[in-house]
Chain A
């Protein structure tokens, strides 16, 4: 399938951009993310993962790219109820209450590893995906807390 044949009817989304050159691996982004979303501090139950190589001192991070063509959204059997698009930011986000926990979104993600990750929490499958902290007054909390300016939020309007 060539790119010309894809019909994109999804609203464009802003996204968070991680700069590994500025990142020093403190993982504050993960902690801010997890406490904001779930009232728990964790490097694992967050929607952004910094995965340092402690010996090479390199700091790549995994975070949803809010694709222009959101495969996850199209793969969801309950599109617009479970996998939704925020009308304000354009964020592709999971509505936990409606989620079937089928994992199709995670498998549809074009990135490797998938940027929608499955975690078992209290013996229940949950899917974690960046929602750009939709509805939060100051924008994404990870961007606000990053001490190195390694995270930037590019809003929908700023996208080329």
Chain B
């Protein structure tokens, strides 16, 4: 094989049921599928049988890196994990998650672009990957340990520079909202893949590598990295609010860690110097918290409130209640427990208001446990019971809210409220403008399109698409929103990128521009999860700002939407331009769509599942839609995607244009290709 640059060249395949270890060449999949989620999607199309359940030995848990991982590219160092997730509701299906930290870079330094784990072990084991070698080891000594102690133990055993991903008690017990955890607070959370690791009886993966990632054109690469670092140096969180005195919006402070290997940014993070009582090694350890973590939610009161007029339109059933502030210390301690048990730490955003809907509709206890969301002890107990599946209460909520309400006898309004908090795919509401954050038009139209065609909460990997005015609600001027003059600058940047500002106009005009923009962003999200880079910054339609002042005063907001291609070309030495990047993103999305059509009969009907949520008004500007308008938007989206309007299936022409002829052939054989 020729020398590879960017990719390290090998994919590790481990069957932990039989102990068989194989490798295959990464060159089978690149550059067409880029890396990360792209390669995982191709492998899933090739190998994942339609009836594979999340806990079946045939399910693959794929730990992926991309060509950027472990390099100087700013915000690289991320990895993704893909597989069939039990958390997806009602049908567990193939999905993905991404996280930062150091493990993905270390995996490449150990000589592998990915590790694909198949099979279920009969006893708890962990993988020890070191410089091209892999050992399957007994995990008896770390059974039942929390995520911090597990990592600490494996670092003591294999050396301090070993990087560890693991599950805590929650993952071992197959809790549907358990995490795959790394360091203090990097995790694959909402994807629900911690439960798959638990089902495979894979406690951890410990990685140590002393190799590197070869760069094709180092001088050119360094130069481009410098330019991109300069473009994004302000960071995505340093300028949205008029004052910087909100602790969770402050730039990264002392005793805090960069969230990802190779990231130059100082994102706003809550850091409280609270002795959090993590008993790892010696001494009292600290904790760090990201946006929407428990310390964030309960430390400060964080839920966005709808205005009174809009709240009244919610029929009193779905309203969002502001979370109670328990203070920094309790917030942090709750978070320590959560990350230690290996539970996804944004859960109170959706559980807290739902418990209140229960109480206000006469449901004051469930399975003998009194609901007391205003009492921190309730939350400590809730997490412990869930992680250990303790009692009927723990068992029920270990299945997450959607499956819990299916099992419980509750008033219809309480069940509906659960669906409002988990509107699609059993995933918690996020950037839809209804349940949690406000997201004024046109941004919620855009985020809705990401949600309805993705396999999970799309916004965890499409943040950038909602930042532009999502951060800065235009209606909110004077309260931290975007002044009109700045909206004009934002639109000018869009004009520069796309030749039109239609996608950014308020309301429901210019629908074709809006759907085309959503498609572009979604394709780029596939690229971002394949390269991998941070979705808070890329694709960079806008550059970032170091301060509010800089944001208000800057003239030109445009970032650089060619950044990905400019970086990938000198890194790999391949002739890659933006057109290639856009097409590759389109290819990955269409292949993902093909998997969902082949394996799960994904259809227009399924895509429309969550339409009802958008019939409620957006929390800040009151805009909403009905079925007719929704269908108009979806027609436009499918049309520009090259998908069949009635079925939502890709057309043959679309698949062939993307070099997916054999995919089209298989869909024909199964009678699942668009007839158009």
Query: A42 contacts B258, CB within 8 Å?
Result: no
**At the interface, is chain A mostly helix, strand, loop or mixed?**
loop
Question: Nearest-CB distance from A45 to chain B (Å)?
Answer: 5
Of B17-25, B280-288, B354-362, B609-617, the one contacting chain A is: B280-288
Assess whether B218 is interfacial by the CB under 8 Å rule.
Answer: yes
Query: B218 contacts A57, CB within 8 Å?
Result: no
Contact with B along A1-31 (1 / 0, CB 8 A): 0000000000000000000010011111001
Contact with B along A96-119 (1 / 0, CB 8 A): 000000000000000000000001
Question: Nearest-CB distance from A102 to chain B (Å)?
Answer: 21
Q: A38 — which chain B residues lie within 8 A by C-beta?
A: 212
Query: A36 contacts B222, CB within 8 Å?
Result: yes
Q: A21 — which chain B residues lie within 8 A by C-beta?
A: 254
Of A48-56, A68-76, A78-86, the one contacting chain B is: A48-56
A35 to B213, CA, bound (A): 9
A67 to B11, CA, bound (A): 44
Q: Which of B72, B160, B184, B281 contacts A32 (CB 8 A)?
A: B72
Of B263-271, B452-460, B484-492, B628-636, the one contacting chain A is: B263-271
Chain A residue at minimum C-beta to C-beta distance from B68: A41
Q: B266 — which chain A residues lie within 8 A by C-beta?
A: 24, 147-148
Q: Which of A21, A56, A148 has the most CB of B within 10 A?
A: A56
A130 to B20, CA, bound (A): 42
Assess whether B256 is interfacial by the CB under 8 Å rule.
Answer: yes
Q: Which of B215, B256, B278 contacts A35 (CB 8 A)?
A: B215
Contact with A along B203-230 (1 / 0, CB 8 A): 0000001111111001001100010010
Assess whether B161 is interfacial by the CB under 8 Å rule.
Answer: yes
Q: Which of B70, B105, B152 contacts A55 (CB 8 A)?
A: B152
Chain A residue at minimum C-beta to C-beta distance from B105: A43
Assess whether A145 is interfacial by the CB under 8 Å rule.
Answer: yes
Q: Which residues of B310-342 have CB atoms within 8 Å of chain A's CB atoms? A: none
Q: A27 — which chain B residues lie within 8 A by C-beta?
A: 102, 261-262
Q: Which of A26, A36, A45, A54 contacts B262 (CB 8 A)?
A: A26
Question: Nearest-CB distance from A49 to chain B (Å)?
Answer: 9
A119 to B218, CA, bound (A): 21
Q: B214 — which chain A residues lie within 8 A by C-beta?
A: 39-40
Q: Which of A32, A42, A119, A148 has the most CB of B within 10 A?
A: A42
Q: Which of B71, B212, B218, B285 contacts A45 (CB 8 A)?
A: B212
Query: A41 contacts B160, CB within 8 Å?
Result: no
Query: B72 contacts A57, CB within 8 Å?
Result: no
Query: A40 contacts B215, CB within 8 Å?
Result: yes
Assess whether A34 is interfacial by the CB under 8 Å rule.
Answer: yes
A45 to B71, CA, bound (A): 12
Assess whether B183 is interfacial by the CB under 8 Å rule.
Answer: yes
Assess whether B551 is interfacial by the CB under 8 Å rule.
Answer: no
Query: A28 contacts B222, CB within 8 Å?
Result: no
**At the interface, is chain B mostly helix, strand, loop or mixed?**
loop
Chain B residue at minimum C-beta to C-beta distance from A27: B261
A57 to B161, CA, bound (A): 14
Query: A32 contacts B256, CB within 8 Å?
Result: no
Query: A42 contacts B213, CB within 8 Å?
Result: yes
Assess whether A44 is interfacial by the CB under 8 Å rule.
Answer: yes
Query: B211 contacts A35, CB within 8 Å?
Result: no
Query: B212 contacts A41, CB within 8 Å?
Result: yes
A147 to B278, CA, bound (A): 29
Q: B161 — which chain A residues lie within 8 A by C-beta?
A: 51
Assess whether B478 is interfacial by the CB under 8 Å rule.
Answer: no
Query: A28 contacts B264, CB within 8 Å?
Result: yes
Query: B72 contacts A45, CB within 8 Å?
Result: no
Query: A24 contacts B211, CB within 8 Å?
Result: no
Question: Nearest-CB distance from B162 to chain A (Å)?
Answer: 11
A114 to B298, CA, bound (A): 46
Query: A55 contacts B285, CB within 8 Å?
Result: yes
Assess whether B52 is interfacial by the CB under 8 Å rule.
Answer: no
Q: A145 — which chain B residues lie within 8 A by C-beta?
A: 72, 226, 229, 264
Query: A41 contacts B213, CB within 8 Å?
Result: yes
| Given A39-B218, A43-B109, also A55-B211 (CB < 8 A) | no
Assess whether B148 is interfacial by the CB under 8 Å rule.
Answer: yes
Query: B262 contacts A31, CB within 8 Å?
Result: yes
Query: B212 contacts A32, CB within 8 Å?
Result: no
Assess whether B233 is interfacial by the CB under 8 Å rule.
Answer: yes
Assess whether B252 is interfacial by the CB under 8 Å rule.
Answer: yes
Chain B residue at minimum C-beta to C-beta distance from A141: B222
Chain A residue at minimum C-beta to C-beta distance from B283: A56
Q: A42 — which chain B residues lie within 8 A by C-beta?
A: 70, 109, 210-213
| Given A21-B254, A26-B264, A40-B212, also A31-B71 (CB < 8 A) | yes
Query: B256 contacts A24, CB within 8 Å?
Result: yes
Q: Which residues of B155-195 have CB atoms within 8 Å of chain A's CB atoms? A: 160-161, 183-184
A141 to B223, CA, bound (A): 12
A53 to B102, CA, bound (A): 12
Query: A57 contacts B255, CB within 8 Å?
Result: yes
Query: B256 contacts A31, CB within 8 Å?
Result: no
Chain B residue at minimum C-beta to C-beta distance from A59: B257
Q: Which of B258, B278, B280 contacts A25 (CB 8 A)?
A: B258
Assess whether B151 is interfacial by the CB under 8 Å rule.
Answer: yes
Question: Which 6 interchain pairs have the tightest Cβ spacing?
Answer: A42-B212, A147-B264, A40-B212, A26-B258, A39-B218, A41-B71
| Residues in chain A within 8 A of chain B (CB atoms) | 21, 24-28, 31-32, 34-36, 38-45, 51-57, 59, 119-120, 141, 145, 147-148
Other than the given A35-B221, A40-B215, A147-B229, 6 more pairs (CB < 8 A) read A43-B105, A44-B212, A53-B160, A54-B183, A57-B288, A119-B210
| Residues in chain B within 8 A of chain A (CB atoms) | 70-72, 102, 105-106, 109, 148, 151-152, 160-161, 183-184, 209-215, 218, 221-222, 226, 229, 233, 252, 254-258, 260-266, 278, 280-281, 283, 285-286, 288
Would you mind naming 15 contact pairs between A and B with Cβ atoms under 8 Å apart? A24-B258, A26-B264, A28-B72, A31-B71, A31-B262, A32-B72, A39-B215, A41-B71, A42-B109, A55-B151, A55-B285, A57-B255, A147-B233, A147-B264, A148-B266
